[in-house]
Structure 1
């Protein structure tokens, strides 16, 4: 679990917070792995943490500030070892605020004092009464720890002010089934080209390698009129391990899909006017027969995957009934009684070659529409409002309702779109609202040409996604000191509980998934109420996980065990009445993440122009407040670049880049389809702060002609590039530029690097960092190599030099900011 504050030092009260202008919040990666008990980096030592507490934990890195998420380890997140975990029933909790005991608490003869609220709680047993015993307890010696939780609600469960789940999807952790088979279903669009299906086949074969042998795999195909459910003979394997599987021949049962619209979604017993298919899929092929064991019938599954081919109705401009196919799949799962194959819910990976433009859920798209998302008539505000519709989706649309139905029955839906830019739009925003409701994601892969899929990294991404551990049925609770509280939560799959304040749900959570929370002060006094008590935050995340077992079940199959766990992290910060100390403690990536989430809501509610105005107003106020506390004392001119404060100095560039980014770029300035922007936003909403800031403002570094690092960072401007390019020509001069934009990396060679191999050789510094980025990130970046004579490659490289955009570029932006700040100071 990783926790990062927007400022290491919190403003003493709300007045000082307003004077600073810095967002007051935190970024949390609930499933980022914790270190082992032998790792001192996570030790709290009774409140004096070597990397936590007021040093690191309060500073807010906590695993989120690493450049590429490299502090996020996946090792323990999926570990089946219980040697590091205590049972949650043994954890003491504060009688006043219900916080869990931690190493920052004080211990007296008759009880312990809560580090969050200061209340005294009496000892319930002898676990915490002796100092010698406390020295060996993980919950007191480590800032973050895990505990086991009973699958069924127990006496330690609290449903009114606790992190314990207040709901659970049907057929998931609400059943008494403790062992079973994690299910995976591939939903493949076959109204597509052979090139598309080759990529999907490679991805599914990679997925089979990533899935554990205890998993069960199912395959469903669809086109504009029908859905094909593959009978892989999964039911027979439950009878006996000695059954001769070679006698079974997989088959495909084709079922016509309804083309009529539905007023309601039919899953889990809701009323419906028209079913999604002519016959319920469960009546054609039972779920247990469709899902085959990866460990026992892997060759059979591979054969079915390799046999995939375009439907007979495929032709240029073919349409696809994805909405009806997705609804029929949801109904199939909902109609299946609880069994070992439904114990963990199901991960559905849908593969689309174009927009879902047929039948129910068809999206009205116009592939010939201008990139600005609408006609060029009307005011800038009107065009921006129209373009915003491409970036957001209505919360009550067809796919939003499908997402809610899937969440109720325990389906997590990932959508992978492989669509050339010339065939956009797909309707990414609509698909994303479905996926994020279930804890899934949407990815858009745009091949270089209509039939060239060589640069599509889907197989690598899907392998890493399925091989990594994942938490499901998660419930998150953030507790704070009484001086402040959570006011709002943000995140791709974060849903606030409708009945219990401060409780949030996450249907699925990957290792890198990050959510943000805004804080507000409880009253005007803030931390002045008790200056001796530092600010405290405790994050509790309860989740379920499938842990593969080595032993075979009674049916001769490998199975996984369903475990419920509780992860708790308590972090201590500091506060100050000095606004300079607040400025010096700013964590710019976390501030950028909070700003992104807030502006996303503004764009969804009021359009792009309102979002741009909100960002500009914030930067003007921040700069004016900074000037009032720093430069005015020295009677100096406005320092709009904030160069004298290292912590704040990245913010003007980040704000400027956001104005030209996926969320706020005006439609008249756009060069890509809004669907591509929507796909980038879908990724931004779940990335850790370090990658959010890098996606907003890419990092440009340079290497010598020998392949050694020359400069770790350049500004994204032609002038900075020219200064480096026209250096003294020595051995240490930049000759190769590496521009990391998260989704794409451009390696550009200057003439000085003509003798250096292109691409860089294995083992070189450049190749190592590229391989590292590919392995660590949730989406493998596309790598583009541009030789000295490659004009197209260099043009792509220069397209990321964001400081050259707009009238006057970044320098002109700062001049305009200076004028706005002067006007603000004169009128305030």
Structure 2
């Protein structure tokens, strides 16, 4: 967990911070394997034994004063009793100390908790299977499809053996591939043209999900064969029965919205039994222009929907809420969507990006196929570890508080400053902006400012081969879920000298905070000391 402050030395009061013109906050990368100095956390297996403050619910750490039968919270200074077992646990010496006594940065294994990614009553680890689905746009060029095929070949190399992989295509119809037989088979479901239409038949009825999701290690060759059969709609033969105009329109139809909605519902039936998180890679060659979620293409001069008062700067509005609602459905179904757009057309990413970023996925944009690094990017993305079902909470000592937070998360409907993250990797970063509590300041007599970041998450661990039966590919590779708790408590110095603030500025964090403020509040002036 890397935590970088915009001001490594905190201002002593609000007047000093205001006069400096520097944003005051932190950038948190919770799933980073080490802190900002490269030091890893202390690890352990008894996260459920970590004491919590009865007043503010902060976790015990090395910064908390410890007594024989009690401890004082570093965040709110409240006194908390220790149970006899906890007292004996913290009475150990040397190498026998628990992780929270050895470091202020810990990563602990948790038992299963009701309502979270690990089923209630389960152990700290349970088995699962990673699921990946590739959705390919056929209303595209040959060059686009060749690039996508190269990217999917790279993805197959990065995916762990034993994972399940599904291949589908979309245009004016959805194509589902069964690669578990001697030859790949594709079955299609036609997409109705109406903006509020639904499929005439469920994808489960077109092809059972267990036929669609194939084990990578035993079906890799047939997946490659299936990729070679994919052709753009422009190469399809024109049927004699269809009118020329209608057939031409269908050849360039891109029914992305309904295809994504259908595949999310398709996967939903196996959420919690076959998989805990499914990742969908979607490859777009242009704006969705067919069926629900279609984007109206406009000329460059018509894209701007709002202007900042007194300024020539313009902002592109969101055309449809279809993808916002779809992102919420994806999160509930345990689905993460990664969107790869390879196009120089206006695609309205302001509408489409919600599907990827709010479901915990990534958004990549390439202007052409010649200079695209898509295969390398998807390989790197899939090679990185990721966490899902995450809960992030930042607590501060009593003199200051969180003014705002930025990042791709869902605020908890009940608790303040608790964020839920569907999926994140070791580079996902979240930003917090601070302000002083009313009439509060840091003085020489007060305790130093303290932050505590708690990050609860689930990760998939590959246990390797577990069977000698080569024909049973799924049993050969075992994956387990681990629910873990990562806690880091940090104490900062303060200063009453404005020049000290400038000496301890992190320009990257300052710029990150300013950019988030500008994006989220485009019509509000951003004051800086520059």
> Could you state the TM-score of these two structures normalised by the residue count of structure 2?
0.89
Q: Report what 2:288 is aligned to.
A: 356
d(CA) in 2 for partners of 1:30, 1:476: 8
1:101 aligns with 2:25: no
Match of 1:442 in 2: 363
How far has the Cα of 1:313 moved from its partner? 4.8
CA contact (8 A) 2:307 2:315 kept: no
> How far, CA to CA, are the matches of 1:443 and 1:401 in structure 2?
21
Alignment partner, residue 436 of structure 2? 521
Correspondence for 1:32: 32
1:282–1:336 Cα contact (<8 Å) kept = no
284 and 127 in structure 1: CA distance in 2 versus 1, 3 angstrom threshold: farther
CA deviation map 1:477-512 (0-9, x unaligned): 001111112222101x22211111121011111111
Q: Which residue of 2 aligns with 1:393?
A: 318
> Which position in structure 2 is the counterpart of 1:417?
341
For 1:79-110, what per-residue CA distance to the aligned partner results, in whole angstroms no more than 9, with x for missing partners? xxxx9323212212223222112122222233
The structure that is helix-richer by fraction is 1
Larger Cα-atom Rg = 1
2:8–2:504: 8 Å Cα contact kept in structure 1? yes
Q: Are 1:137 and 2:58 counterparts?
A: no
Q: Give how far 1:135 is off.
A: 6.8
Give the CA deviation at 1:379: 8.8
* Secondary structure of residue in 1 paired with 2:93: helix
What is the distance in 2 between the residues matched to 1:88 and 1:511?
Answer: 21
Query: Are residues 1:180 and 2:105 paired?
Result: no
Where does structure 1 differ by over 6 angstroms across 4 or more consecutive aligned residues? Answer: 314-317
Matching residue within 252, 271, 290 for 1:318? 252
Measured at CA, do residues 337 and 89 of structure 1 come closer, stay the same or move farther in structure 2, by a change above 3 Å? closer
CA 1:398/1:129 → structure 2, altered by over 3 Å: closer, same or farther?
Answer: closer
Report deviation, 1:180: 2.0
| Cα distance in 2, alignment partners of residues 379 and 590 from structure 1 | 28
CA distance, structure 2, for counterparts of residue 185 and residue 464 of structure 1: 17
Whether 1:561 and 2:480 are equivalent positions in the alignment is: yes
Give the drift of 1:133: 5.2
In the TM superposition, residue 384 of structure 1 has moved relative to its aligned partner by: 4.6
> In the alignment, what sits opposite 2:329?
405
Which residue is equivalent to 2:186?
A: 252
For the residue of structure 1 that corresponds to 2:485, the secondary structure is strand
Counterpart residue number, 1:549: 463
Q: Tell me, in whole angstroms, the C-alpha distance in 2 between the residues paired with 1:254 and 1:374.
A: 38
Gaps of 5+ in 1: 35-41, 43-61, 64-70, 78-82, 154-166, 234-246, 263-273, 448-452, 604-609, 623-651, 653-828
Q: How far off its partner does 1:466 sit?
A: 0.5
Shift of the 120–365 alpha-carbon distance from structure 1 to 2, 3 Å rule, reads same
Deviations 1:416-446 (A, max 9, x none): 0111x3xx10111111112111011211111
SS at 1:107 equivalent? coil
1:464 aligns with 2:380: yes
Cα 1:497/1:115, change in 2 over 3 Å: same
Greater strand proportion: 2
C-alpha separation in 1, matches of 2:48 and 2:311: 57
Instruction: Measure the CA separation in 1 of the matches of 2:271 and 2:158.
Output: 27
Query: Which of 569, 576, 598 is equivalent to 2:495?
Result: 576
CA shift in 2, pair 1:17/1:313, >3 Å: same
Q: Judge conservation of contact 1:296–1:557 (CA < 8 Å) in 2.
A: no
For residue 556 of structure 1, give the secondary structure of its aligned residue in structure 2. helix
Structure 1 position 122 matched with structure 2 position 81: yes
The count of residues paired between Structure 1 and Structure 2 equals: 508
Determine which of 415, 418, 435 is the counterpart of 1:503. 418
C-alpha separation in 2, matches of 1:380 and 1:594: 20
Partner of 1:146: 107
Whether the 8 Å contact between 1:547 and 1:561 is mirrored in structure 2 is yes
Deviation at 1:127, TM superposition (A): 4.4
Q: Do the aligned residues in 2 keep the contact of 1:9 with 1:585 (CA within 8 Å)?
A: yes
Q: State the partner residue of 2:203.
A: 281
CA distance in 1, matches of 2:111, 2:90: 25
Equivalent position to 1:427, from 348, 360, 371? 348
How far 1:522 moved relative to its partner?
Answer: 2.1
Contact 1:12-1:576 at 8 Å conserved across structures: yes
Aligned mates of 2:453, 2:318 — CA distance in 1 = 30
Aligned to 2:447: 533
Structure 2 contact 30–428 (Cα < 8 Å) conserved: yes
CA displacement, residues 372-397 of structure 1 (integer Å, 9 cap, x when unaligned)? 8459xx99859956x401xx537x71
How far, CA to CA, are the matches of 1:382 and 1:359 in structure 2? 39
Asked if the contact 2:45/2:110 (under 8 Å) is kept, the reply is no
CA contact (8 A) 1:214 1:548 kept: no
Q: 2:394 aligns with which of 451, 456, 478?
A: 478
Cα shift at 1:602: 1.7
Q: Report the secondary structure of 2:326's partner residue.
A: helix
Answer yes or no: is the 8 Å Cα contact 1:135–1:141 preserved in 2. Answer: no
Separation in structure 1 between the aligned mates of residue 398 and residue 430 of structure 2, nearest angstrom: 22
C-alpha deviations, 1:8-55, integer Å up to 9, x for none? 121222233223222121110011112xxxxxxx7xxxxxxxxxxxxx
Aligned counterpart, 2:505: 586
Q: CA deviation at 1:287?
A: 1.4
